[in-house]
Amino acid sequence: MIIPMDLNASPLPEPEDDEEEIFGAQVEEEIAHEEHVETAVETLRREREERRQRLKRDLPDEGPRQRVVQQPRREPVINTRFYDKNKLPPGWLDCPAAGQSIGYIIPSKVPLGETFNDCIVPGRRYSLKQVIHQQRVLGRELGLVIDLTNTTRYYQPSDWKKQGIKHVKIACKGRDSVPDPESVNTFVYEVLQFYSRQKLAKKYILVHCTHGHNRTGFMTVHFLMRSQSMSVTEAIQVFHNARPPGIYKQDYIDALYAFYHERKPENVFCPNTPEWKRSSDLDLNGEAMPDDEDDGGIVTASQDNQVSTEVLTNDDVLGDAIPWDQQEAMRQFCYHSLKLGAGAKGMAQFPGSHPVSLNRENLQLLRQRYYYATWKADGTRYMMLITSDGCFLIDRNFNFRRVQMRFPMKQTNEGVGRDTHNLTLLDGEMVIDTLPDTQKKERRYLIYDLMAINSVSIIERPFCERWKMLEKEVIEPRNLERQYIYQSRNPYYRYDLEPFRVRRKDFWLLSTITKLLQGFIPKLSHEADGLIFQGWDDPYVPRTHEGLLKWKYPEMNSVDFLFEVVDENRQLLYLYERGKKKLMDGNHVDFKNGEDPSELSGKIIECSWDSEEQVWNCMRVRVDKSTPNDINTYRKVMRSIKDNITEEVLLEDIGEIVRLPMYADRIRNDSKAHSRQHSGRRR
Ligand SMILES: Nc1nc2c(ncn2[C@@H]2O[C@H](COP(=O)(O)OP(=O)(O)OP(=O)(O)O)[C@@H](O)[C@H]2O)c(=O)[nH]1
């Protein structure tokens, strides 16, 4: 999306005199005992003022200000509970009102309601009405205000609405932390939605925190990063130009580089704290007093920046939450790409293709169609949607979460084109690899299918074509850019800081299945629980795909039950039948790993069948699933258990299959093509 830049707009006029302002202050809930509080506040204020005067007298002019910038901030000496509800935010008065527009975003300090008038002389007021008026003078109509302050005391949001302006509150603590990723996602979504809805009349978005620098800058930079091809340095500079000195908290700047996996260039410096902020309020140590909501202490940069000591598990929740509406729109895109028609709002189910268990009957399919095999990676299933403003993992519950990844487009001959993929839909398994040399654990997304590329559905194309496109269009451009990062559009990007690695899954000719089973799988650096047989010419079939076959090691054939414990520790096992719970009478589970059954009541448990004891064994709790298997899946698993296709039987059968003429010819051709490709790569 291209957002017109309006960086040369003229500076704003000074705030005008008060024109009968319309706000009443909102009384903060926590100030319950007003009289007591006001006396305490008065005393504290007087004491602080005395200390400030003393410091001003005793210290040379620049002394304390230097220390403000260089020393780590200490805890405030005043209990913030005693803040006067009409106290001006420190530095607010001298802080410039608003910056120049960045596209349609106008960064601003918080406008204050009329209850603040006693503290502000006419001529220095900046109320909601004045904001609207000032922007009108500059030819801008406001349509949306995004309020990032962490309080409701500054003005009444309903006053914006009375003027026909939408108000969105995204409360962000300014102290001790950068805005959290979910708030950032909400901000970017709100702005994008606002842009996309107003086709003709372009209205502007006022974004404010308390002073319109750090939180406002942080959010604006995120928006620029996701809506345009920019580096973090460029985006920070754009904000700096529009609202000097821009973001002036070092940790906010570091968090932005960390979030977008970019190396910070050596010549990037954090601006000094502006004069209006430094001289506003000083505490006993000569440091700037924090506002109750804004400013302050030690900021934690994104976790990517820190050395991680976490233990990786397949059940970890990956990525950041995003607004529900955004998920709903992306669900519809998936349904559309998979040609499923529109899913009922809020009711859509995970549409990914699902294999069926191999039995003696469907084993015959291998003789009728041309198949390849691959190991059945045992991690967590995710589809992935890459869009220009982010990359989203889609779990089995059809929930979307954002992960910070980069998927560049293939370079055209002209070397121009869009920078990254937009609306490309993939399918795969997230596994945890243990690196053989160091035993270090690393997450890897093994992609095995490509269903849409840049918004074009390709599900009807044969699998072999989709799989080749996956390599050419998605994997190769990433690898190339990674290799030649210094020549890329963003030489500061660091793929090694992404939350997981990415690879295309390999598929093996059926003639090499013994090697796959006995040589390759045992050496894999992640778990595998069987094989997948993939029809080489098959389309992508959403939901159950009767032609996509899974073979599991016999002891790993499993069913996911909904488990419940009722009175007197009676176990109940449920499956689903036409979307409703179905009690599986006569089934019983053993908990050989010492789990307490009563604690698992209400959970989905994955069980394998012990044919000697005629009982189910609980293997694990499926935290990634909210519904049990369907009765039909259960029947297929039971059939596969009964048919008992052992490794031996399987290898024997496939040995026969690959001698069939249809296989023999294609295998010969494919082998030649593979070796040509490999020798081409080696050259
Ligand atoms: N289609 C396909 N699926 C694979 C592949 N490798 C691993 N899988 C996984 O195999 C799963 C299907 O096997 P099941 O045994 O039915 O599923 P599960 O592992 O118990 O988990 P559920 O998906 O919850 O049923 C898919 O959902 C994928 O997560 C692959 O190469 N192709």
Distance in Å, CA 532 to ligand 1 centroid: 8
The pLDDT value given to residue 103: 95
> Please, which pLDDT band fits residue 280 given cuts at 50, 70 and 90?
low
* C-alpha 550 – ligand 1 centre gap (Å): 8
Confidence class of residue 469 from pLDDT cuts 50, 70 and 90?
Answer: very high
Cβ neighbours of residue 75 under 8 Å, at least 6 residues apart?
297
Contact 363, 531 (CB under 8 A): no
CA distances from 400 to 193, 196, 334, 541 (A): 18, 21, 11, 21
Nearest to 8 by CA among 84, 88, 99, 87: 99
Residue with CA nearest ligand 1 atom 4? 376
Q: Give yes or no: 376 in active site.
A: yes
CA 89-92-96 angle, 5° bins: 160
- At residue 550, what is the residue type? K
Query: Would the CB of 532 count as within 6 Å of ligand 1?
Result: yes
Residue 284 has pLDDT above 50, yes or no: no
Give the mean model confidence (pLDDT) for residues 450-478.
98
Q: Annotation-wise, does 552 bind a ligand?
A: yes
Average pLDDT over residues 67-76: 30
CA 584 to chain centre: 39
Q: Judge whether 69 is annotated as a binding position.
A: no
SS3 state of residue 71? coil
Regarding the beta carbon of 428 and ligand 1, being less than 6 Å apart is answered no
pLDDT score at 354: 96
Active site residue 209: yes
Residues in the chain: 683
Ligand 1 pocket, mutate which of 446, 550, 622 (most atoms under 8 A from CB): 550
Task: State yes or no: 389 annotated in a binding site.
Answer: no
Tell the residue number behind the tokens 């690393």, with chain if given: 442
The mean pLDDT of 115-126, rounded to a whole number, is 90
Q: Is 65 in the pocket of ligand 1 (CB under 6 A)?
A: no
**Crossing angle of helices 250-259/214-227, nearest 10°?**
20
Alpha carbon nearest to ligand 1 atom 24, residue: 625
What is the per-residue pLDDT across 549-580, written as a single tens digit (0 to 9) for each?
A: 999 987 788 999 999 999 878 999 999 999 89
Is 427 labeled as ligand-binding? yes
Assembly ipTM: 0.95
User: How many angstroms does the Cα of residue 166 sit away from the middle of ligand 1?
Assistant: 45
Q: Are the beta carbons of 154 and 111 closer than 8 angstroms?
A: yes
Question: Which residue minimizes the CA distance to atom 20 of ligand 1?
Answer: 558
Residue 586 Ramachandran class (φ > 0 left, ψ -120 to 50 alpha, else beta):
left
Measure the CA–CA gap between 354 and 357, rounded to whole angstroms: 10
User: Would you say residue 177 has pLDDT above 90?
Assistant: no
Task: Kindly report the protein residue whose alpha carbon is nearest to atom 27 of ligand 1.
Answer: 381
What's the whole-number mean pLDDT along residues 38-64? Answer: 40
Instruction: Name the percent of the chain lying above pLDDT 90.
Output: 67
Instruction: Give me the chain's average pLDDT, please.
Output: 84
551 annotated as a binding-site residue: yes
CA of 355 to the centre of ligand 1 (A): 7
Least confident of 23-27, 409-413, 490-494, 543-547: 23-27
On whether the CB atoms of residues 52 and 281 are closer than 8 A, the answer is: yes
Contact (Cβ atoms closer than 8 angstroms) between residue 617 and residue 590: yes
- Ligand 1 close to Cβ of residue 448 (< 6 A): yes
Run of H or E residues at 676: helix 661-682
**Is 61 labeled as ligand-binding?**
no
623 labelled as ligand-binding?
Answer: yes
Please name the residue ranges forming H helices in 96-213: 128-137, 158-162, 181-197
CA 530 from chain centre, in angstroms, equals 31
Which pair of structure tokens corresponds to residue 222?
A: 């995120």
Q: Is 625 in the pocket of ligand 1 (CB under 6 A)?
A: yes
What's the sign of the alpha-carbon dihedral 517, 519, 522, 525? Answer: negative
- Look at 309 and 95; give whichever has higher pLDDT: 95
Residue 432 has pLDDT above 50, yes or no: yes
pLDDT tens column, 370-420: 999 999 999 999 999 999 989 999 999 999 999 999 999 998 765 545 689
Q: Quick one: average pLDDT of 279-297?
A: 48
Per-residue pLDDT at 33 exceeds 50: no
- Which atom number of ligand 1 is nearest to the Cα of residue 379? 29
For 624-639, what is each residue's pLDDT tens digit? 899 999 999 999 899 9
Structure confidence by residue, pLDDT tens digits, 147-172: 999 999 999 999 999 999 999 999 99
Three-class SS of residue 473?
Answer: helix
Residue 293 clears pLDDT 80, i.e. is over it:
no
Distances (CA, A) of 33 to 16, 28, 30, 36, 45: 36, 11, 9, 6, 18
Q: Classify the C-alpha dihedral 290-292-295-299 as positive or negative.
A: positive
Q: What is the reported pLDDT for 260?
A: 97
Give me the mean pLDDT over the 180-189 stretch.
97
Angle in degrees, CA 241, 179, 240, rounded to 5: 5
pLDDT band at 71 (very low <50, low <70, confident <90, very high): very low
Residue nearest (by alpha carbon) to ligand 1 atom 19: 378
Q: Is 681 annotated as a binding residue?
A: no
The answer to whether residues 386 and 189 touch, using CB atoms and an 8 Å cutoff, is no
Name the active-site residue from 109, 129, 203, 209.
209
- Adjacent-strand bridge partners of 452: 425, 457
Instruction: Find out whether the beta carbon of 377 lies less than 6 Å from any atom of ligand 1.
Output: yes
CA of 276 to the centre of ligand 1 (A): 59
Taking the alpha carbons at both ends of the chain, their separation in whole angstroms is: 40
Residues 6+ apart with CB under 8 A from 642: none
Which pLDDT score, from 0 to 100, does residue 611 have? Answer: 85
Element housing 673 (H / E): helix 661-682
> What stretches of 183-340 adopt beta strand conformation (E)?
204-208, 320-321
Which secondary structure element, helix H or strand E, spans residue 108, and what is its range?
strand 105-108
Distance 555 CA to ligand 1 centre (A): 16
Euclidean distance between CA atoms 459 and 449, whole angstroms: 9
Backbone angles phi, psi at 138, to 5 degrees: -85, 5
The SS3 call for residue 262 is strand
Ligand 1, atom 28, lies closest to the CA of 381
User: For residue 501, how far is its CA from the centre of ligand 1 (angstroms)?
Assistant: 20
Measure CA 312 to chain center.
18
Q: Residue 8 pLDDT more than 60?
A: no
Residue nearest to atom 14 of ligand 1 (CA): 355
Residue 290's pLDDT is: 55
> Considering 376, 391, 607, 618, which one is annotated as catalytic?
376
pLDDT: which is higher, 300 or 427: 427
Ligand 1: residue of 356, 381, 446, 551 to mutate (most ligand atoms within 8 A of CB) is 381
Q: Which helix (H) or strand (E) holds 545?
A: strand 544-552
Helices and strands, counts by H and E, the chain = 17, 23
Find the 365 Cα to ligand 1 centroid distance in Å.
19
Q: Does ligand 1 have an atom closer than 6 angstroms to the CB of 445?
A: no
Strands of 284-349 (E only): list them: 320-321
550 lines ligand 1 (CB under 6 A): yes
374 lines ligand 1 (CB under 6 A): yes
